[in-house]
Amino acid sequence: MTALLIMVAAPFVKAQVHVGDILCEGNVVVSPSSFAVSGHTPIGVVFHVDGSRQHGWAVGLNDLGKYQWGPNSVDTPLRNRMNKLQAKNDLDGYNNTKTILEGGYDIPFPAFDFLDFENGWYLPALGQLKYLYANLDKVNESLSAVDGTPFSTEEDWEFWSSTEYSICNAWSMDSSGKFYHKDESYNGNKDDRKIIRGVRNF
């Protein structure tokens, strides 16, 4: 009975998933070469696979816009990560996002509020953005194949992470793959407007 329940509850994924595979509705994962004839609707592209080779993280097909991270005078319950090593070790964007959205604040946190968290989408932690950037070529190839929006390698862009630096700052990643906050003479205030794009676990 236990095995049956696990089979019913667990979403379908390929026997082995690879970076660049397409995540589709229903948590179905298909290879780029099989997507056109699969009949499935894409929702994201895999950018990291864990040791099981069946689960990992996928990034959404399109940017959601430019938004402020949140008010720059509110220190959230998130751990303040005040150096790059600490920040790059943060891989838990899901719980970061959950903490903000369930915090009971009467003020907006736009970078979090505009995600479809109820359906599994969250603002990636800085360490997750590190993995995304490392696999940008494969991700962009698959995004183009499913009519998503590739990450530009020629234009400047800045993406918010869900990793907090301090009461006034949060970490972001730019188009060169570098990570910043304001104390590095880079404008990383929480009330700056930067791009957000959701990621999700599968």
Predicted confidence at residue 185, as pLDDT, reads 44
Please state the pTM of the whole predicted model.
0.89
Residue 186 pLDDT level (bands cut at 50, 70, 90): very low
**Predicted local distance difference test score (pLDDT) of residue 2:** 36
- Of residues 148 and 6, which shows the higher confidence score? 148
* pLDDT (0 to 100) of residue 10: 46
Percent of the chain with pLDDT over 90: 77
How far apart CA 60 and CA 123 sit, in angstroms, is 11
CA–CA gap between residue 85 and residue 61 (Å, rounded)? 29
Q: With cut-offs at 50, 70 and 90, classify the pLDDT of residue 192.
A: very high
Say whether pLDDT at 7 is over 50.
no
Q: Is the pLDDT at 4 greater than 50, yes or no?
A: no
| Average pLDDT across the chain, whole number | 90
Those residues with Cβ within 8 angstroms of residue 127's Cβ, 6 or more apart along the chain or in another chain: 87, 88, 89, 90, 91, 163
More confident residue, 83 or 25: 25
Task: Inform me whether the pLDDT recorded for 187 exceeds 50.
Answer: no
**129 φ, ψ to 5°?**
-65, -30
pLDDT of the residue at 74: 87
Residue 3, pLDDT score: 38
Long-range contacts of residues 166-173, Cβ cutoff 8 Å, at least 24 apart: 166/75, 166/80, 166/82, 167/72, 167/73, 167/74, 167/75, 167/80, 168/72, 168/73, 169/72, 170/69, 170/70, 171/81, 171/87, 171/126, 173/126, 173/129, 173/130, 173/133
CA 70 to chain centre: 17
